[in-house]
């Protein structure tokens, strides 16, 4: 069960419309390393995670990723509201506009729609946590790229905040991986089960 708080995790007040930038930022809504795949990944993985602390961490981070999904939506919305068609024509937002007007829809900057194959839930604690570490770095790199593409302080501040949170998540997942490795349990970790290892050789 979730409780919804009607405020953003970080305030966003973008004054200048910028459809070209919106067409890039949408990638953190529905792109391969965006907040949709982050939240779905952790919400899905938590059931098979054998330790309550790690399962709880997945729930906490997934919940925060949902609030980041909301922030990205607000950024795209504020960058594209009240645009005239002339302001859209000839920009990278034009193709998106044909399909979605200025509605929010999950796709990558390159136009590829969101797809559940962009994340994994493998049911193996180490496999999943290693994916989560990589996912946080990929999200951080994407925010790096977006930060390089703008000088608008109204956009930079929330982007910097989101980037910092990916770094924190990476560190938390690192702690979770060491906790799991310290408590290796052959019933839960196929890769470290000597009987199964024999079968693999």
Contacting positions for Fe ion (CB under 5 A): 166, 169
- Give 26 or 83: the residue with its C-beta nearer to Fe ion: 26
- Give 19 or 31: the residue with its C-beta nearer to Fe ion: 31
Q: Please name the helix (run of DSSP H) or strand (run of DSSP E) that holds residue 164, with its range, or none.
A: helix 153-182
> How far apart, in whole angstroms, are the C-alpha atoms of residue 147 and residue 155?
8
- Give 46 or 169: the residue with its C-beta nearer to Fe ion: 169
The token pair that represents 25 in the structure block: 């930022």
CB of 38 to Fe ion, least distance (A): 5
Which position has the token pair 């049911």? 123
Q: Which residues on adjacent β-strands are paired with residue 113?
A: 107
- Give 60 or 157: the residue with its C-beta nearer to Fe ion: 60
Distance, CA of 166 to chain centre: 9
> How far apart, in whole angstroms, are the C-alpha atoms of residue 36 and residue 51?
25
- Give 20 or 167: the residue with its C-beta nearer to Fe ion: 167
CB of 155 to Fe ion, least distance (A): 19
Cβ distance 135 to 37 under 8 Å? Answer: yes
Q: Within the chain, what is the greatest distance between any pair of CA atoms?
A: 67
Cβ distance 180 to 125 under 8 Å? Answer: yes
């Amino acid at each position: 069960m979730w409780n919804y708080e009607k405020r953003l995790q970080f305030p966003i007040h973008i004054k200048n419309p910028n459809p070209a930038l919106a067409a890039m930022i949408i990638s953190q809504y529905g792109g391969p390393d965006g907040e949709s795949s982050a939240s779905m990944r952790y919400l899905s993985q938590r059931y098979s995670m054998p330790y309550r602390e790690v399962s709880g961490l997945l729930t906490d981070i997934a919940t925060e990723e949902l609030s980041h999904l909301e922030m990205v939506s607000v950024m795209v919305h504020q960058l594209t509201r009240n645009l005239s068609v002339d302001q859209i024509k000839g920009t990278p937002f034009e193709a998106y506009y044909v399909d979605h007007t200025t509605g929010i829809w999950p796709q990558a900057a390159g136009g590829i729609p969101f797809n559940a194959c962009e994340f994994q839930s493998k049911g193996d604690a180490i496999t999943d946590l290693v994916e989560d570490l990589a996912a946080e770095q990929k999200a951080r790199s994407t925010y790096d790229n977006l930060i390089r593409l703008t000088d608008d302080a109204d956009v930079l501040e929330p982007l910097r905040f989101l980037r910092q949170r990916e770094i924190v998540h990476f560190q938390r997942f690192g702690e979770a991986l060491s906790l799991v490795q310290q408590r290796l349990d052959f019933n839960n970790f196929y890769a470290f089960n000597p009987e199964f290892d024999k079968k693999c050789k």
